[in-house]
Amino acid sequence: MKFTMQRTALALALLGASAGAIKVDFTSDDSIKAGASTIAYGLVKYYNGNETGQIPGNLPQPYYWWETGAMFATLIDYMAYAGVDTYLSLMTQGMLFQAGKNNDFLPQNQTMSEGNDDQGVWALAALSAYENALGIGNPNWQGLGKNVFNDFVQRWDSAHCGGGLRWQMAPVNAGYDYKNSASNGVFFDVAARLFQQMGQDPHSEWATKVFEWEQKAGLISDSYQVFDGLQVESCNSVSKQQSSMNAALFLEGSAYMYNATSSSDWKTRVDGLLKEVSTTFVKNGVLYEPMCEEKELCTVDQQSYKSFLIRALKATAQQAPYTAATIQPLLQSNAKAAAASCSGSVDKGFAGQPGTACGFSWIGDSAFDGNVGVGEQMNALSALTALLPQRARSQPSTTSGSGSPSGSPSVSPSVKPKSPGNKIAANLVTVLALFGGVVYGLC
């Protein structure tokens, strides 16, 4: 990853902000949808994978492959709650193209640089498409998610640090000797959502196994802080950086597990994670990235993490309704701050409606901070979508199937989607140097 905070002259940006700034009446769902539509348009203008000669499912540089999956997940939520099909063809084409020959988001040209966390982000997008009954040609989104789950089960490494997924799949890649919460978090969230959807093991067994391993490894603290990861050669040396995305994955998965089980254990985890989110990732009433935001050091990847946490908060309020009274005020304040930030005019780096570019930081005095990009648009779109009260589409009914009712967690049967995927171009794996230490992130 590269540090690419695009900054314009802030004074000039603010002078141009009033021309097309997004104005939202937050008492009106129609007004919220209109604002979200403008933001979504600005987001999709960064994507060229649906153009002739381009690769479906790829964003251009400086964005890594996984972020296209995250963008699709954001658009899926938007379309489901706004009740529109605007980007349905674009999303379906891109996701199925990236599914790979084995229908598990391991496309041929990506496998040597792809991390477990990258693959899991795409799987979560597929499960969101299934949950929201979105897709052209009735693709088997749930089958894609199940196949990724099976891959994760096979890669579980009990020989080092008592379990866990490594960050990278290929031994030659930097990060293969690192086990991170992002990779294990997507595994946990995928397992939890499959269990909530299907009502069968082995998904619940693996969700519990992953969460408890994170706790035993010291990656989830007694107060439910979610730390970044650890080196396999020194399992007790935990890198204690915290990102909103990692917290989001474990909060969302715990809420799905609580919904599926009504277990007091999962309620305790939901409560602990929600309290930790409110303590660590909220400032001035809105979300922020404490590791990098105030120092203006956030990477392109980190600029998108708030989108994950907003969607996780929305899902938590739905899956564990008793949390809604705590979560809803935060969602409201974020939506207002996000809409206010979508007032930028910049010379380059944004092709949406002039005067509606969304900024990154919501904690400062000014509305638009001069930073633009895919992550900024994703964050703002998720924030407005989160205020829409209910899906405009019906969720599919829960599917029953055979599983492993007892014994060790095992692999569930592979399911091939009806539309196979193809190839994509390779990206590079990187390691970030930050705060004088090493921080590992998505690539």
| Per-residue pLDDT tens digits for 352-408 | 999 999 999 999 877 899 999 999 999 999 999 999 987 766 556 544 332 222 233
DSSP category for residue 220: B
Is the Cβ–Cβ distance between 35 and 20 less than 8 Å?
no
420 φ, ψ to 5°?
-75, 160
Quick one: CA torsion of 334, 130, 429, 253, rounded to 10 degrees? Answer: 60
Among 235, 150, 152, residue whose Cα is nearest residue 186: 152
| Per-residue pLDDT tens digits for 7-26 | 333 333 333 333 468 999 99
Question: Which residues, in sequence order, are CB contacts of 127 under 8 Å at separation 6+?
Answer: 141, 142, 145, 190, 193, 194, 197
pLDDT for 16: 37
In the structure encoding, which two tokens stand for residue 423, read together? Answer: 């190839």
Task: Please give the span between the terminal C-alpha atoms of the chain, in angstroms, as a whole number.
Answer: 7
| Per-residue pLDDT tens digits for 257-311 | 999 999 999 999 999 999 999 999 999 999 999 999 999 999 999 999 999 999 9
CA-CA distances (angstroms) from residue 125 to 122, 143, 411? 5, 12, 21
For residue 52, the tally of other CB atoms under 10 A from its CB is 5
Per DSSP (E only), the strands in 319-386 are 342-344, 357-358
Residue range 51-331+417-439, CATH number: 1.50.10.20
Question: Which residues, in sequence order, are CB contacts of 93 under 8 Å at separation 6+?
Answer: 49, 50, 56, 57
226 three-state secondary structure = strand
Quick one: CA torsion of 241, 246, 251, 254, rounded to 10 degrees? Answer: -110
Helix boundaries (H) for 132-176: 141-155
Tokens 């897709």 — which residue?
Answer: 135
For residue 246, is pLDDT > 80? yes
Q: d(Cα 11, Cα 26) in Å, to the nearest integer?
A: 28
| Per-residue pLDDT tens digits for 120-174 | 999 999 999 999 999 899 899 999 999 999 999 999 999 999 999 999 999 999 9
